[in-house]
Amino acid sequence: MTSKGGGKDRGGQDRSAPFTVSRRILLGPGPSNVHPRVLDALAQPLLGHLDPEFLALADDTQALLRETFRTTNAVTFPVSGTGSAGMESCFVNLIEPGDRVLVCVNGVFGNRMADVAARSGAEVARVEAPWGRAMDPDAVLSAGRQFGPKIIAMVHAETSTGALTPIPPIAAAARACGALLVADTVTSLAGIPVEVDLWGVDACYSGTQKCLSCPPGLAPVSYSSTAIEAVRARKSRVASWYLDLTMLTRYWSDDRVYHHTAPISMIYALREALRLVQEEGLEARWARHALHHRALAAGLEAMELSLVVPGEERLPQLNAIAVPEGVEDAPVRRRLLEEFGIEIGAGLGVFQGKVWRVGLMGYSASRENVLALLEALGVILPAQGHRVEALAGVDAAEKLYRDAGA
């Protein structure tokens, strides 16, 4: 046995000393790097979760979330848990046993939606599109008319592939079928337009660790009055006590009835992250993500690398790069991390070993990070047999920035 407080942990850290971590450029599918102001907010002293000062801060956080979701929905708040908890919140509250749910599947997170809906007691049907492609609204409408669902569920920004499915035509299909629309906006919120009220989204959820650039641990959700009516009309109790909106809304309202201890420090952090979004301006933030995506794409093209999603269907904040023939996926990612301190993501599902997922999200979406990644790839790829000029990608990205006046 080691003495109290002594020894080393599995990572070689001395347990008798404060824990320190390496600085990384986080360019994977999440989390993204966090602004120093958000880290400062996390370090603020704790308040009680029913303290009037904290409740005022919670009210402000809700107001900021409504602005970011572009909604006036009263029931808009951060669920205690990651984005997947937001997903479960939507399904477990809206689904009663035997309800029909049609799920749009074009990647890992559409699959996860179908799984969670089935676990919530739904009869689930799937309408599918190839990985790396947007959903076809006509196919969704046709499947919806045939199946007669209570809910149509879709992923706005499919993190596993980098594909963008526009919400408005899927929302129109849901209305034509008399169904509620549930939308996954985990990777889209604050990175590309999300217009909850304008588009007619009934329930949506997001995560804090993507384009909001806040640590993982909260799932912002927003429910329309129509969705809340459906919850109130339930004939059975919500299966999850922890995620039951009929109780949670009593805390996230003027009643402030105790339900569970709110993750106080994370709400400090989320409020500051949302303040940064509003200071930059949503439109400016969307434009920044688009600019850095274009610069990355220009650099990749100059290095004879390609993105797997067609141009008109691509996400700017999640870029799936085809691993070139003859190059091994994992060694490139390992060298990026160990030698350059850059994290990118591996492919999932059918894309495993075939793509690198590069996130340009929130605070991580910067000119410096784009150029650092392209420069590092220019060093690593030739050693893997992919012959390119070392600075070809950097030069192409720099030209795009100059041409854009950035």
Domain boundary among 234, 263, 278: 278
Residue 195 has pLDDT above 50, yes or no: yes
Radius of gyration of the chain (CA): 22
Q: What's residue 6's pLDDT?
A: 62
Report pTM.
0.94
Q: Which residues pair with 78 in a beta bridge?
A: 220
Domain of 251: which CATH number? 3.40.640.10
Domain of 379: which CATH number? 3.90.1150.10
- Pure H helices in 263-384: 264-280, 282-302, 329-340, 367-383
Using the structure block, give the residue that is written with the tokens 């190839």.
Answer: 130
pLDDT band at 3 (very low <50, low <70, confident <90, very high): very low
Residue 398 has pLDDT above 70, yes or no: yes
Same domain, yes or no: 252 and 313 = no
Q: Which residues, 6+ apart, have CB-to-CB distance to 392 below 8 Å? A: 299, 302, 303, 378
Q: Is residue 17 part of a domain?
A: no
Same domain, yes or no: 155 and 286 = no
Question: What DSSP character marks residue 46?
Answer: P
Q: Is residue 254 part of a domain?
A: yes
Same domain, yes or no: 267 and 195 = yes
Instruction: Give the rounded distance of the alpha carbon of 281 from its chain centre.
Output: 19
**What pLDDT, in 10s, does the model give residues 70-122?**
999 999 999 999 999 999 999 999 999 999 999 999 999 999 999 999 999 99
Q: What's residue 4's pLDDT?
A: 56
Q: Which residues, 6+ apart, have CB-to-CB distance to 142 below 8 Å? A: none
Using the structure block, give the residue that is written with the tokens 């499919």.
Answer: 158
Q: Is residue 396 part of a domain?
A: yes
Within 10 angstroms of residue 347's Cβ, the number of other Cβ atoms is 22
| Letter string b/e over residues 274-285, b meaning 16 or more CB atoms within 10 A of that residue's CB | bbbbeeeebeeb
Same domain, yes or no: 226 and 296 = no
Per-residue pLDDT, averaged over 346-374, amounts to 97
Same domain, yes or no: 269 and 341 = no
Q: Is residue 87 part of a domain?
A: yes
Same domain, yes or no: 251 and 320 = no
Q: What's residue 1's pLDDT?
A: 42
Same domain, yes or no: 258 and 335 = no
Q: Which residues, 6+ apart, have CB-to-CB distance to 98 below 8 Å? A: 121, 122, 123
Same domain, yes or no: 309 and 396 = yes
- What is the rounded CA–CA span in Å between residue 359 and residue 228? 34
What percentage of the chain carries pLDDT values higher than 70?
98
Same domain, yes or no: 57 and 133 = yes
What is the pLDDT of the chain when averaged over all its residues? Answer: 96
Question: What DSSP character marks residue 79?
Answer: E
pLDDT band at 2 (very low <50, low <70, confident <90, very high): very low
| Letter string b/e over residues 240-271, b meaning 16 or more CB atoms within 10 A of that residue's CB | eebbbbeebbebbeeeeeebeebbbbbbbbbb
Domain boundary among 247, 278, 309: 278
Same domain, yes or no: 87 and 138 = yes
Same domain, yes or no: 300 and 269 = no
Q: What's residue 61's pLDDT?
A: 98
**What pLDDT, in 10s, does the model give residues 239-266?**
999 999 999 999 999 999 999 999 999 9
What percentage of the chain carries pLDDT values higher than 90?
93
Same domain, yes or no: 72 and 95 = yes
Based on the structure, what is the number of domains in the chain?
A: 2
Q: Is residue 258 part of a domain?
A: yes
**Contact (CB, 8 A) for 384 and 331:** yes
Domain boundaries, position 327: 281-403
**What pLDDT, in 10s, does the model give residues 132-191?**
999 999 999 999 999 999 999 999 999 999 999 999 999 999 999 999 999 999 999 999
Q: What's residue 19's pLDDT?
A: 81
**Contact (CB, 8 A) for 315 and 192:** yes
pLDDT band at 371 (very low <50, low <70, confident <90, very high): very high
Q: What six digits make up the tokens of 72? A: 């006036």
**What pLDDT, in 10s, does the model give residues 11-58?**
677 778 888 889 999 999 999 999 999 999 999 999 999 999 999 999
Rounded to 10°, the helix 83-94/108-119 angle is 40
Residue 343 has pLDDT above 80, yes or no: yes
